[in-house]
Amino acid sequence: MNHMPLKTAAYAAHSATTPLEPWSLERRDPGVEEVLIEILFCGVCHSDLHFVRNEWHNAVYPMVPGHEIVGKVTQVGSSVSKYKVGDTVGVGCFVDSCRSCAACTSGEEQYCESGATFTYNAPDKHGTAMTYGGYSTQIVVDQNYVVRVPENLPLYAAAPLLCAGITTYSPLRHFGVGEGTKVAVVGLGGLGHMAVKFAKAMGAHVTVLSQSEKKRQDAMALGADDYLATSDPATFENNVKRFDFILDTVSAEHDLNAYLTLVRLDGRMVLVGVPDPTPLSAMPLIFARRSLSGSLIGGIRETQEMLDFCGEKGIVCEVEMISMSQINEAYERMLKSDVRYRFVIDMASLK
């Protein structure tokens, strides 16, 4: 049989300290259970920057980041039943897992006991190379790791739902945030702004804790009920034990102990941001029987549930569209918290 290489334009990082550059890779022919997806838009997650700059000490180069992928199915394998050519689909942070462990069989593949295969910078089960992500024009994925994007959502604004969306939706649901829960969202970035939208849609009373006063108006426009600047020491003095639930989306080092004091007796703080190691004291946990948890993205079933919820409620992300060649500048702006509230790459700029 003739093999037609699926030559794919991409942007790759070649080291932790050099800018991302144009690159090209070859996608495999779709297997019987796989679909080929033309990538139309890809969101830019702060995790992309952590990975590219080797802040998590596991980078393998060349690296093609991107795990907020939306596009159209352009080819399907012979046993694919869930999708057909032309369908609008999404791919998030992982593209495979063992499918048999307790986590996988309960639909929480992100916690796969053998380790889920992440969309990029992970050993690819289909070859000797690594997986390459969404800063590229097409991708091949098993149908069971693909989700359907509701047709009523503008596709470019839906892309970040695949990571920023599910990462905030999942802990809010898992820990039972609902009508009247007093929620605080720490950090109003890509994840944070989606946390505000979801918590509001679930009926919570939502306060944003941001570093400065700069994002107050935006926070209220996103639906927040209250806003506190963490640069003001009075914020920590006047709001002790105020919140039932804090979702911390901060990407850089900050004082977890100070934020914990804002949680009520028996309340909970959940970390989704991945800052550098931060000292943690037992005191604020002990003195009000508070819990501290973490949460990693979400499973395929819950990602689909989140997308359908967004379709019903008309929830999308606030995005700034960029061309692929603006990615390095976008990273610098993201580091300065200067993104309102997610960069999304228009992949047509790479063709």
**Footprint of ligand NAP (CB under 6 A):** 45-47, 50, 163-164, 167, 187-192, 210-211, 215, 249-252, 254, 272-274, 295-297, 334, 337, 339
Closest separation in Å from C-beta 271 to ligand NAP = 7
- Give bridge partners of residue 89 from the DSSP assignment: 71, 148
Residue 304 Cβ, how far from Zn ion at the closest point, in Å? 18
Q: Which does 334 bind (CB under 5 to 8 A by kind): Zn ion, ligand NAP, none?
A: ligand NAP
Residue nearest to ligand NAP (CB): 189
CB of 191 to ligand NAP, least distance (A): 3
Q: How far is the CB of 119 from ligand NAP (least distance, A)?
A: 12
* Alpha helices, H only, the chain: 46-52, 102-105, 155-158, 164-174, 190-201, 216-222, 233-238, 256-260, 283-286, 300-313, 327-335
Residue 270 Cβ vs ligand NAP, minimum distance, rounded to whole Å: 9
Residue 34 or 68 with smaller CB distance to ligand NAP: 68
77 contacts 34 by C-beta, under 8 angstroms:
yes
Closest CA to 134 of 60, 18, 41: 41
In the list ligand NAP, Zn ion, none, the entry touching 297 (Cβ below 5 to 8 angstroms by class) is: ligand NAP
Out of ligand NAP, Zn ion, none, which partner does residue 337 contact, by CB within 5 to 8 A per kind? ligand NAP
91 binds, among Zn ion, ligand NAP, none (CB under 5 to 8 A by kind): none
User: Environment class of residue 326 by beta-carbon count within 10 Å: exposed (0-12), middle (13-18) or buried (19+)?
Assistant: middle
As a whole number of angstroms, the distance between CA 160 and CA 249 comes to 15
Which tokens in the block code for residue 237?
Answer: 């003095």
Contact 75, 30 (CB under 8 A): yes
CB of 110 or CB of 137, closer to Zn ion = 110
Among Zn ion, ligand NAP, none, partner that 52 touches (CB below 5 to 8 angstroms by kind): none
Under a CB-based contact definition with an 8 Å cutoff, are residues 8 and 136 in contact? yes
Closer residue to ligand NAP in complex, CB, 64/297: 297
Q: Closest distance between ligand NAP and the C-beta of residue 289, in Å?
A: 24
Task: Give whichever of 6 and 16 is closer to ligand NAP, judged by the CB atom.
Answer: 16
Instruction: Report in angstroms how near the CB of residue 236 gets to Zn ion at its nearest.
Output: 29
State which residue, 69 or 262, has the beta carbon closest to Zn ion.
69
Closer Cβ to ligand NAP, 146 or 250, answer by number: 250
Nearer to Zn ion, 104 or 219 (CB): 104
Name the burial class of residue 38, with classes exposed (0-12), middle (13-18) and buried (19+) by CB atoms within 10 angstroms of its CB.
Answer: middle
| Residue 50 contact partner, candidates Zn ion, ligand NAP, none, CB within 5 to 8 A by sort of partner | ligand NAP
Residue 187 to residue 332: CA distance in whole angstroms:
17
CA-nearest of 91, 251, 68, 72 to 160 is 68
CA distance 82 to 14: 36
In the bound state, the residue with its beta carbon closest to Zn ion is 45
Q: Contact residues for Zn ion (CB under 5 A)?
A: 45, 47, 97-98, 101, 104, 112, 163
Say which entry of Zn ion, ligand NAP, none residue 112 contacts (CB below 5 to 8 A, set by partner kind). Zn ion
Helix (H, G, I), strand (E, B) or coil at 338: coil
Q: Is the peptide bond before 62 cis (omega within 30 degrees of 0)?
A: yes
Query: Based on CB atoms, which residue is closest to ligand NAP, 9 or 274?
Result: 274
Shortest distance, position 239 Cβ to ligand NAP, whole Å: 16
The candidate with the shortest Cα–Cα distance to 61, out of 11, 26, 118, 110, is: 11
